């Protein structure tokens, strides 16, 4: 037997003599068609989850300043709420923010449409649902996720503000996830703006009247959410909050912000 026949390298492994497997890794991958149950096992799912993170990070990492817009999937085109969502998408994009939504119908579509129509970057992070569902037609960059929790990480990691229009359970879930992250200091550069004082007024009163009164939140917690009806004010609140945060970071010497933030903070800082 030659030395060549007595050794097999398989990736980082080197086999000698009797330890050399009868087949190569490629043969085992390509030749065999056994039971496919393993694709439903948790280790396999972990890889799929990992690949969703990789794809999401790949798509979103170079977006620049972005704002996520949330709201009901059930709002129809031609309604006042749809127009409000569209106007907010438009104004955010015109101010230089990429607009990120859940990529579905209703408010998501409206905000994507507004951003797309003024030439901004319109992003949709879709979710696989039990019924047929495709990304809305106003998305310039889209990715569809299998797992809600991976998708939620993308919204938080790649946007610098949340705008929340009227919506149901999905919207509330997104709102309270963001507020919890801000309240616990997991994200620090993050204004949350509710749009629709009539719709959200009851929630705001309950937060102040019950949550605060009962002592289950802190004095300043209700202020973690801004409330307005005016699309221009939405952009204003976000812009001011970013400049304020960047200025504080700049003054304290920890400059984590983007160049745009830092420049804005430098301009805003006293002489
Ligand atoms: C109900 C219908 C379609 C649902 N399709 C969705 N596609 C993408 N994202 C969705 C969808 N539904 C909910 N979301 C997410 O939750 C928020 C809206 O939920 P709500 O319960 O409607 O408030 C939204 O921001 C998405 O991120 C058929 O019309």
**What was the pLDDT predicted at 34?**
76
In a domain, 4, yes or no: no
141 CA distance to ligand 1 centroid (A)?
18
Mean pLDDT of 173-186: 94
Q: Cα separation of 13 and 83, whole Å?
A: 61
Domain that holds residue 208: 48-268
- pLDDT band with cut points at 50, 70 and 90 for residue 246: confident
Q: Give the residues across from 183 on adjacent strands.
A: none
In a domain, 88, yes or no: yes
- pLDDT band with cut points at 50, 70 and 90 for residue 271: very low
Mean pLDDT of 128-146: 90
Q: Which of 82, 102, 138 to mutate to test the pocket of ligand 1 (most atoms within 8 A of CB)?
A: 102
**What was the pLDDT predicted at 253?**
73
**What was the pLDDT predicted at 269?**
55
In a domain, 30, yes or no: no
pLDDT value at 38 more than 80 = no
208 CA distance to ligand 1 centroid (A)?
28
pLDDT value at 268 more than 60 = no
Residue nearest to atom 19 of ligand 1 (CA): 170
In a domain, 3, yes or no: no
Q: Which of 124, 77, 135, 67 is nearest to 101 (CA)?
A: 124
Judge if the beta carbon of residue 109 lies within 6 A of ligand 1. no
In a domain, 37, yes or no: no
For residue 254, give the CATH number of its domain. 3.40.50.450
Give whole-number Cα distances, 194 to 80, 178, 199, 233, in Å.
16, 12, 9, 11
232 CA distance to ligand 1 centroid (A)?
25
Mean pLDDT of 3-28: 81
In a domain, 12, yes or no: no
Number of domains within the chain: 1
Judge if the beta carbon of residue 142 lies within 6 A of ligand 1. no
The mean pLDDT value of the chain amounts to 89
| Claim: this prediction has a pTM higher than 0.90 | no
Tens digit of each residue's pLDDT (9 = 90 or more) over 64-93: 899 999 999 999 999 999 999 999 999 999
In a domain, 11, yes or no: no
- Please give the structure tokens belonging to residue 17: 């003599």
ipTM of the complex: 0.92
pLDDT value at 188 more than 50 = yes
**Helices 80-94/107-117 angle, 10° precision:** 40
State residue 170 phi and psi, 5-degree precision: -60, -45
In a domain, 190, yes or no: yes
Burial class (CB in 10 A: 0-12, 13-18, 19+), 190: buried
- Three-state DSSP at 230 gives coil
pLDDT value at 132 more than 80 = no
């Amino acid at each position: 037997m030659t030395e060549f026949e007595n050794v097999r390298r398989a990736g980082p492994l080197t086999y000698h003599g009797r330890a050399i497997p009868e087949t190569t890794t490629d043969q085992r991958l390509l030749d065999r068609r056994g039971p496919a149950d393993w694709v439903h096992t948790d280790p396999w799912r972990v890889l799929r989850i990992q690949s969703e993170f990789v794809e999401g990070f790949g798509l979103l990492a170079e977006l620049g300043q972005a704002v996520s817009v949330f709201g009901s999937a059930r709002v129809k085109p031609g309604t006042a709420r749809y127009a409000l969502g569209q106007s907010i998408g438009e104004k955010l994009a015109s101010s230089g923010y990429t607009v990120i939504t859940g990529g579905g119908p209703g408010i998501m579509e409206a905000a994507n449409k507004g951003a797309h129509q003024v030439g901004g970057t319109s992003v949709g992070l879709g979710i696989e649902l039990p019924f047929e569902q495709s990304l809305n037609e106003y998305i310039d960059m889209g990715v569809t996720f299998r797992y809600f929790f991976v998708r939620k990480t993308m919204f938080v990691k790649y946007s610098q503000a949340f705008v929340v229009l009227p919506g149901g359970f999905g919207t509330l879930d997104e709102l309270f996830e963001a507020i919890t992250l801000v309240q616990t200091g997991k994200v620090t550069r993050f204004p949350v703006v509710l749009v629709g004082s009539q719709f959200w007024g009851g929630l705001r009163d309950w937060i102040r009247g019950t949550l605060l009164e009962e002592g289950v939140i802190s004095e300043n917690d209700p202020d973690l959410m801004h409330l307005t009806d005016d699309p221009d004010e939405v952009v204003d609140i976000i812009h001011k909050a970013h400049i304020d945060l960047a200025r504080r970071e700049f003054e304290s010497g920890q400059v984590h912000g983007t160049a745009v933030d830092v420049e804005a903070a430098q301009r805003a800082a006293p002489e």
